[in-house]
Structure 1
Amino acid sequence: MTKVVKVAVVGSGLAGLTAAYLLVSSHAEDVEFDVHLFEKTPSIGMDSSSVSIGNEDQDWRIDVPMRSFQGGYYPRLIALYTQLGVAFRQADFSYSFSVFSQSEKTHSLRTTMIYNGASGRNGAGMPSSLQDLYLYRKANRLLARAFALGIFVLSTVQLLICYIRLLFFAFPALRSKRHNNLTFEEWVVETTPTHFIWKSFRFDTIWKSFAQDVLVPLFSAVCTAPNDLINTHPVEDFLDYVWLTFGTHHYVVIKGVRDAVARLTLNVKHIHLSSPIVSVHADSNDPRIASIECATQKGNIIHHGFHHIVFATQANRVGPLLSSYAASLPPDAPTRHAVMAQINCLHEFHYIRSVVINHTDDSSALLPPDPRDRRDLNLITAVPSATTPLSPWSPHRVSPTYTMATHLLTPPPVLKDEVAVPVFQTTNPFVHINEDRILSVATLERAVLTMSAKDALRGLCRETRRAWWQSSAEAEYSLGPLQGAGRRESDARPGGLAVWVVRACGVFRYSKGVS
């Protein structure tokens, strides 16, 4: 006889949808999973912030936030999309790096580096400021051109040497164990050349400049985090990213993430939208199962009989729900102690505000003013003196300690004639965007990994095996001791409620090897 196991999945981002999909796709002969997916917003979370442009017959779905994935870093995601039949295409983005500065009344934006993508195969580009240097040298323009070319070649060679050196440090087999326990800022100090030969060529200064002017803005954009948090981020994860993305491609879903959402939820029968969870409590008649109370437009609704709860939402949302469940258990219940251990673990994870705006504003504060400097992704960092944003004030801005990233969006070929003006997506703007040109605004919570959070993650998943040539992202993982709180307790009742956490820190790599 088939046993029906009722499972609640809280959160409908990629982690929650994947959990629900895998459960309903299970082919166990003696178990049938009755999956209930809970989402607080009116639409599935993975696509809830996206926006459509176009007409009823043909629309352009713009994913929010930007949904690209790296082939070397996300092989399991690629395998999942391939299994689902989700179409995706190669998108090797190019980048520009610019510096924003301001005075009381004016601002300036200067492009310092251009990366043409494809893991460096397309080379670097010369910023317009160097291309036009001869215009300011009326006496000898030929000499000015040669001087500009020399500066560009020298800076490109310096960049290449720094990148090769970075790859050397990122290679897992050569990586120092000590480096894996350092923050990014500590690692930069540790790896700065000290030999007099290197210092005689000022390579110590060049290396520090590469770290602060290239790596910090890049990782600030990737993590959507301010620069100070990038400096305190565990460097091991950055080195893993550098190593695994070397020589590989970026991809984007052709039809937008709504295509993936539709395929992942195809067989999920119970989807509860606009249903923020108020509390979780043990069933009064059978403490081995739990009930979930949701707030809806029709009032509070209680769903009963869950054997498992999979939390696939932010850790700061999970903690209060677990506290309500723990409060409904007897003080001496083993399950209560296990749940409290999960709560203590989740307290180590921290979140920051991130803003994503789709718009048509092409002002020189958001993009390099010279079109020759513009690339797919345009990263802009404020100089330290730019401590406050320009007027007028806007609630859609963040601190200038973030790296602002503006993506030049490309409409589908069938809509190129209908989309009359260029469309941009700016993440974490620290300057004003013309309100009349804003298409959509999304404010998100993003997890930032810290050393303490990384230690706490070992309670949720733990490394079991890694070859000498592999990075931690390639290792095999198993469930941590805090997973399945309640059911995994040796003195708990057989068949007790199990609580699982699959999205504690927003770091996908920690679930890549979990079996």
Structure 2
Amino acid sequence: MRIAVIGGGIAGLVAAWKLSQRHAVTLFERHAAPGLVASSVTLDGIASGLRVDVPLRVFYPGYYPTLTRLYAELGVATEPVDYATTFSGGDGRVYFRWRNARLGGWSMPYVLPQDVASVRGWRVAQGALHFRARARAAQAAGDLGGASIGEFVAAERIAPEFVEGLLLPAIATIATCSTADARAYPAAVVLGYANAGVARQSVRRARDGADAVAAKLLAGITRVQCQAGVAAVRRVMDAGQVLVHHAAGDEAFDHVVFATQANQAQTLLADAAPDEAAALAAFRYRALEVLMHSDPALMPERRADWSPVNARVCAEHEQPESTIWINRVQPGLRHAAPLFQTVMPQRSPREDSLLGHARFERPLVGAGSAAALASLRALHAQPGRRVWWCGSYAEAGVPLLESAVLSALAVAARVEADADATPTGGRLAASTA
């Protein structure tokens, strides 16, 4: 079959790679390079030629089993990284610091006495222990229902110092959303992430970055067309095909896989049926800004307080600022001048320190997410389907690399099932197109 995959993020690359094993696949990407690496920054000076992922991509095996298996199959080498975190207030003073002792693939979190010398620090630590115990019990009991994490911690009377000072900023940082969005996250999703081993397993990264992952996947894709300029997708009912209108003209395919955001797919699908439009519109997004820079002013005031990850939590800002000390996360930069990546910035670095500036949109998870996913699954189950959707939003859980890869493989399996079930090689009669 001839298949088009629109979007070159991790979901699009995986879907195109998997389907190319049996079919003629064209991957359409709007950027000059695949979306997975389109915003990466190439460095000069002592680290000349080294590239840094934007945004930085890390994982831990307990919550990313599909991604872990994919990297193993591709032969992508990974390495453990230190992802200890400092939490500071708007005054620059540290109120809590979490560290981890790593041994191979395992990690043991701990805090030092000087990190929790204040009453606030002790309450954060005590709240963390209380939350951990209640999270395990609640997940084991399976009685969370549709409660949000805000409702869960209120019902369990978890210390507000922990909730406001660590839990919600951590959720907002991982999911790149506002504190209010974090509070509305389904408790089952948050507890699923927390209980999958994040405190016991080392955070890892692809040793050679997203470029290595993209290169492995691209090598197996039939055809890649960057700067494609896809403007519209429309089904040709009497031919059992899907027409992709792009910069070079119109091209017909047996199937089209949208590996874009749901809102982008909704815009591109010119003949979207009401149930398709409603399903895609149900997924919500939050704008995300990432800055690459060399300005230490966005780090904690004291150099001794710097951690690989540094969260700045201020009541006057709707979302926490997170600054990653790249030198501590990417070994090739260990001896280079300090380099930082700030996510959801509350402040601006010096203009002469700015190395890269990227804007994205990230899916939000809330009370309506389960219904939206059910609608998407119902669409994929329709007989004669020719248009499909995958991405980090398209699977349950925190929308991260894992859900993107899982959804891509699931869609590829459905397309394969259509090919196996259709004697004409995937083409259906006009009455079922």
Q: What range is the shorter-chain TM-score in?
A: 0.7 to 0.9
Cα 1:127–1:277 change in 2 (3 A) is farther
Residue in structure 2 matched with residue 325 of structure 1 by the alignment = 271
The answer on 1:437 being equivalent to 2:433 is no
The answer on 1:353 being equivalent to 2:270 is no
If the length of structure 1 is used for normalisation, what is the TM-score? 0.72
Matches of 2:180 and 2:287 in 1, distance apart?
14
Identity rate of aligned residues, in percent?
25
Q: Give the CA RMSD over aligned residues.
A: 2.6
Matches of 2:19 and 2:49 in 1, distance apart?
32
The answer on 1:10 being equivalent to 2:6 is yes
Matches of 2:136 and 2:46 in 1, distance apart?
50
- Structure 1 residue 276: deviation in Å? 2.8
Higher relative contact order (CA 8 A, sep 6+): 2
Q: Helix, strand or coil: the match of 1:114? A: strand
- Structure 1 residue 184: deviation in Å? 1.8
Residue in structure 2 matched with residue 121 of structure 1 by the alignment = 108
Q: Counterparts of 1:126-145 in structure 2 under 5 Å?
A: 126=113
Residue in structure 1 matched with residue 131 of structure 2 by the alignment = 166
Letter in 1 for 2:391: R
Q: Helix, strand or coil: the match of 1:38? A: strand
Superimposed CA distance per residue, residues 15-41 of structure 1 (whole angstroms, 9 cap, x where no aligned partner) = 11111111123xxxxxx4110101111
The runs of 5 or more residues in structure 2 that have no matched partner are 414-433
Letter in 2 for 1:37: L
- Structure 1 residue 50: deviation in Å? 0.5
Q: Helix, strand or coil: the match of 1:47? A: coil
The answer on 1:225 being equivalent to 2:177 is yes
Residue in structure 2 matched with residue 274 of structure 1 by the alignment = 227
- Structure 1 residue 379: deviation in Å? 0.3
The answer on 1:69 being equivalent to 2:52 is no
Matches of 2:108 and 2:47 in 1, distance apart?
39
- Structure 1 residue 171: deviation in Å? 2.6
The answer on 1:308 being equivalent to 2:255 is yes
Q: Residue 426 of structure 1: which of 342, 367, 377 is its match?
A: 342
Matches of 1:187 and 1:220 in 2, distance apart?
17
- Checking the alignment, whether the CA contact within 8 Å between 2:327 and 2:333 is kept in structure 1 is no
Q: Helix, strand or coil: the match of 2:232? A: strand
Residue in structure 2 matched with residue 142 of structure 1 by the alignment = none
- Checking the alignment, whether the CA contact within 8 Å between 1:113 and 1:125 is kept in structure 2 is no
- Structure whose alpha-carbon radius of gyration is higher: 1
Q: Residue 182 of structure 1: which of 147, 158, 164 is its match?
A: 147
Superimposed CA distance per residue, residues 87-126 of structure 1 (whole angstroms, 9 cap, x where no aligned partner) = 11011311000111xxxxxxx2111001012587251135
Cα 1:21–1:55 change in 2 (3 A) is farther
Q: Counterparts of 1:387-466 in structure 2 under 5 Å?
A: 400-410=317-327, 419=336, 421-460=337-376
Cα 1:173–1:429 change in 2 (3 A) is closer
Cα 1:124–1:310 change in 2 (3 A) is same
Matches of 1:120 and 1:373 in 2, distance apart?
20
Letter in 1 for 2:280: L
Cα 1:503–1:215 change in 2 (3 A) is same
- Checking the alignment, whether the CA contact within 8 Å between 2:124 and 2:166 is kept in structure 1 is no
The answer on 1:481 being equivalent to 2:369 is no
- Structure 1 residue 54: deviation in Å? 3.2
- Structure 1 residue 174: deviation in Å? 5.0
- Structure 1 residue 512: deviation in Å? 4.0
Matches of 2:107 and 2:80 in 1, distance apart?
15
- Structure 1 residue 188: deviation in Å? 1.8
Q: Helix, strand or coil: the match of 1:505? A: helix
Q: Counterparts of 1:286-297 in structure 2 under 5 Å?
A: 286-295=238-247
